[in-house]
Amino acid sequence: MKGTIFEIREFCLQDGPGVRTTVFFKGCPLRCSWCHNPEGLSRDIETMRGQPCGRVVEASELAGELHKGDDFFQRFGGGITFSGGEPFAQIDFLLELASLLKPLHLVAETSGFVSPADYKRGAAAVDILYQDLKHWDADAFSTHCKGDLSLVMDNLTWLKQSNVPHVIRIPLIPGVNDLPGYEESFVSLLNGDKALQRVELLPYHVTASVKYELMNKPYKPTFDPSAEIRKPDLDIFKQHNIQAVLA
Amino acid sequence: MTDRMQQLTAWVLDKKQAVWRKQINWGLLQLRFSDENRSASDRITDGFCAVLSQETPVFLPGERIAFTRTVENLPEPYTDAEMSELRKAAFYAEKGRVFNISPDYASTIAVGLDARRSEVADRLKLAEQENDASAIEFLSNALRSIDAVLALADRYREEAKKSGLDEVAALLAQVPHGPARTYPEALQMLRILHFCVWAEGEYHNGLGRFDQYLWPYLQADLDAGSLTQDEALEWTEEFFLSCNRDSDLYIGVQQGDNGQSLMLGGCDRQGNLAYNPLTYLCLTACRELKLIDPKINLRVNKETPMEVFKAATELTKVGIGFPQYANDDVVIPGLVKLGYSLEDARDYSVAACWEFLIPGCGMDIANITGVSLPAVVDRVMRTSQAKDFESFYAEVRQQLVKEADKICEMLRVVKILPGPFISLFCTGRVQAGRDVCEGNKYNNFGIHGTGFSVAVDSLESIKKWVFEEHRLTLQQMTKACDSDFKDEEQLLNDIRFHTPKMGNDIEEVDGIGVRLLADFAASWVGRKNCRGGIYRAGTGSAMYYVWHANELPATADGRLKGAPFSANFSPSLDVPVNGPISVVKSFTKPALIDAVNGGPLTMEIHDSAFRMEDGLEKVACIPKFFVERGGHQLQINAVNRDRMKDAQIHPEKHRHMIVRVWGWSGYFVELEKPYQDQIIKRVEMNP
Ligand code: SF4
């Protein structure tokens, strides 16, 4: 079947173990005001810098392109990472693609804002899941991301007791989630997490807005992008036996 | 780095040694040249001796390896008018001097100049008995040259003694008269010989396989306990630094383009792996110094241990573009295929930039000229009546042959001005009684194939839009190119964004690359040059990537008028690529064994990649992958602040520079200035 992607990028070193080739899926049900991939929001083919942005592609064709990296991955390790946008928003396409890519090592990065059924199927299709955690508070989540946090929380609850190896990614947004004691708030969400490998904290960067200009879209952050980010106290994670790294 | 080295480096970077420089008026000497109708060899030796006698011994504070140029300008053996007269009778490459070779300094370091002097004197006696006029001229000039070098070295020694520089004086008490016995002596000797070759007026000559010929000296010192590892590193750094003392006087197209290249690693003449502790010391020294000289090349092959790649990647990380990798598995069989002996081929080094050649016995003129591959495609596009791509391509092949014919015609008589002193470091020249300008064991000519990817992408575009889609005719494509695609926006768009380009591992277009390189190489096979050698095809561009590009209007690949070709063997500048894996795969498909005149694939990796956990190991996979796929030469640039600064001024040169912005990667030049500044600042913040 067909799906929509907007980029394939090789040598993404942060998107999983080894050397990754990352496929960016087009379309996301959330609208985080700090989103750094505005071309990943809509499923439609758009224009960026006067060039077409986005491509509708058959899973088999895309798998063929990605398999060109096999000799590299077999020799040096690494694999394919599904990112976006929200890769689980095109779950059937993703599942077909994943089945065609196996036995390559697969990673998916998700916001968790998808139906529990889709979430479980997606999680089962990859070797490691990268789960975003943007906020612990439902109101804040709704204000800044335009979504219902309970859906994410349901999926997180399931993930925590599952055997799916996963990494939690927290984007640190100034004034949004770096509130005093925020480390504790995030840690409390991760109580009893069975297959958690580590937590990665990614500080917001003002350059997030650059692609909006390239797409002639307004960039309207719901926070002050230039504000200082409260540095995370990684020891708090450590005290709870959670390995945390600042990217 | 030690404090002493830091101070010395600061001194050299501040160019404080320039205060000792003096301009000499060589008018009288040059007048004598023509008045007395001096021979070329005599003129060059007269000039060389005059320069050395004008040299003043000077010492940078704290330095231990002496010899710094104080004479700023060298006498030219011929006036411009005389030179253009000479050029009427023969082709002289560049300045006409011996350049771009790798002298064998090692043999002289091992015996000393006194021994070389007797060798020359003995041979001269024989020449006199035989009444061999050319030998007499060459050998007497070689003798005069040696005497001039020894005289300057003696003055240096006396001056060092007088100034209380005991360490310097002690080294000069042994070398260059006698053989080097220790690593420091060997370095001082190498410095003197290399310095003098420049003073003779030869340029762009490399330092050869530095870690191979100097390791025995270092090993002996380490074994004897007379040097520690740290001291060895410091000596190596001091030698490297000495290559930067006079380099602003060394001519080139750009500052830094001076050919002070050296080669590390690889295998020995028997084919055994030849990495040694000095290989690693050199990588470390270069990394600590962060200077543009000497230029570090590293030979690798399938057997090369991962630790070598890692050490090399540590050097890549500092962002000065070193090392440049060369792949033994391709270069050695490639050289053998061209007629080099297997033992010599295993001993290959680089000349000034990337041209593979054999130290000592190679007198190849490796960058004698180039073929602009896009111009060949352009010419055929203008004249062809072809009805299908195969016929069109057949015409391209014929045009390549015609181009080769034309160049051979131009190179019917090629001469080089003599270099009696440098000939001492060219294998067998003294015994033969002949200056190296008359040739040596290998006398091949190297031909660059410039603008490779522009040519390949243009062929693919013509194939697709003219012959497959029948969107336009060849005449219309020509017209579009001539108008710089004015009023052809849609066509330009389709060519740019909907036509396969080399660098994305797409068989269709890469296949054209495979054919074009093979046919370019084939157009030179079987041709003999006028100096008893053959021709070697390469993928280098040198400065031609700008020159050749300027000679052309827009090209069928959508490159607009005035845009340069990509340098050497790399994707076209405005082609979006998925990343290094695809680029390596595309550019290792052609049979590079047939392109061993050299010319690297160049890549840029943002230096944040190196700082990530395991980043070094991951980046080190790229050269290893390249080698295993059969690439011939590779240069990886860690993109850093200075390159980004440069990219702000010259975005066209850095189109492929990828930066990690925040969770995503982007092309630096596409970011707005404030964001660029931001990233630059970030790089500055996280050294
Ligand atoms: S979930 Fe990710 S892709 Fe979707 S809007 Fe938020 S940041 Fe952007």
- Establish whether residue A38 lines the binding site of ligand 1, counting it when its CB lies within 6 angstroms of any ligand atom: no
Encoding tokens for residue A206? 């003002």
Question: Which atom, in ligand 1's list, is nearest to the CA of A113?
Answer: 1
Atom of ligand 1 nearest to the CA of A84: 3
- Closest chain B residue to A15 measured between Cα atoms? B663
Whether residue B187 contacts residue B206, with contact meaning beta carbons closer than 8 Å, is answered with no
Q: Does A181 touch chain B (CB under 8 A)?
A: no
Please state the atom number of ligand 1 nearest to the C-alpha of residue A31: 5
pTM, full prediction: 0.91
Q: What is the pLDDT of residues B632-679, one digit of tens each?
A: 999 887 876 777 888 888 887 776 666 644 334 356 777 777 667 766
Residue of B nearest to A171 (CA): B663
The answer to whether the peptide bond before residue B176 is cis (omega within 30 degrees of 0) is yes
> Count of A–B CB contacts within 8 Å?
77
Establish whether residue A31 lines the binding site of ligand 1, counting it when its CB lies within 6 angstroms of any ligand atom. yes
Domain count, chain A: 1
Q: Which among B580, B624, B664 has the least Cβ separation from residue A11?
A: B580
Backbone angles phi, psi at B407, to 5 degrees: -65, -40
ipTM: 0.90
CB < 8 Å to B581, chain A: 10-11, 19, 21, 69, 72
Mutate to test the pocket of ligand 1, among A25, A36, A37, A42 (most ligand atoms within 8 A of CB): A37
Q: What is d(CA B17, CA B59) in angstroms, rounded to the nearest whole number?
A: 9
Summarised one tens digit per residue, pLDDT across range A72-107 is 999 999 999 999 999 999 999 999 999 999 999 999
What's the CA-to-centroid distance between A112 and ligand 1, angstroms?
10
Concatenated DSSP letters for B611-632?
HSTTHHHHHHHHHHHHHHTT--
Give pLDDT < 50 ranges for chain B. Answer: 253-255, 660-665, 685-687
Question: How far is Cα B343 from Cα B336, in angstroms, rounded to an integer?
Answer: 9
Q: What pLDDT shows up at residue B686?
A: 37
Phi and psi (nearest 5°) for B546? Answer: -90, -45
Structure tokens at A122: 């997606």
A208 touches chain B (CB under 8 A): yes
Position B256 scores a pLDDT of 56
- Which residue's alpha carbon is at the smallest distance from atom 8 of ligand 1? A35
Express each pLDDT in A199-234 by its tens digit: 999 988 766 676 787 788 888 899 998 899 999 999
Q: Which of B581, B661, B664 sits opposite A69 (nearest CB)?
A: B581
Q: Which atom of ligand 1 is nearest the CA belonging to A34?
A: 7
Residue B488 token pair: 């052809």
Instruction: Work out the mean pLDDT of chain B and round it to a whole number.
Output: 92
Q: For position A38, which CATH number holds?
A: 3.20.20.70
Which residues from B are below 8 Å from A75, CB to CB?
A: 621, 625, 628
> Is the distance from CB of B123 to CB of B139 less than 8 angstroms?
yes
Contacts of B461 (CB under 8 A, 6+ apart): B495, B499, B556, B557, B558
Strand A19-25 and strand A196-203: the pairing is unpaired
The closest-lying atom of ligand 1 relative to the alpha carbon of residue A111 is 1
User: In 10 A of CB A244, how many CB atoms?
Assistant: 21
Give the residue numbers in B contacting A (CB under 8 Å), as ranges. 497, 505, 578-582, 585, 605, 609, 612, 614-615, 618, 621, 624-625, 628, 660-666, 670-672, 675, 678-679
How confident is the model over A135-194, as pLDDT tens digits? 999 999 999 999 999 999 999 999 999 999 999 999 999 999 999 999 999 999 999 999
A202, B582: Cβ pair inside 8 Å?
no
Domain that holds residue A196: 2-246
Ligand 1 centre to CA of A230 (Å) is 22
Give the 3-state secondary structure of residue B287: helix
Give distance in angstroms: CA of A86 to centre of ligand 1: 7
Closest CA to B535 of B396, B248, B338, B285: B338
Ligand 1 binding pocket mutation candidate from A24, A25, A30, A130 (most atoms within 8 A of CB): A30
Is the CB of A147 inside a 6 Å radius of any atom of ligand 1?
no
Q: Which amino acid residue places its CA nearest to atom 7 of ligand 1?
A: A35
Q: Residues of A with CB below 8 A from B615's CB? A: 13
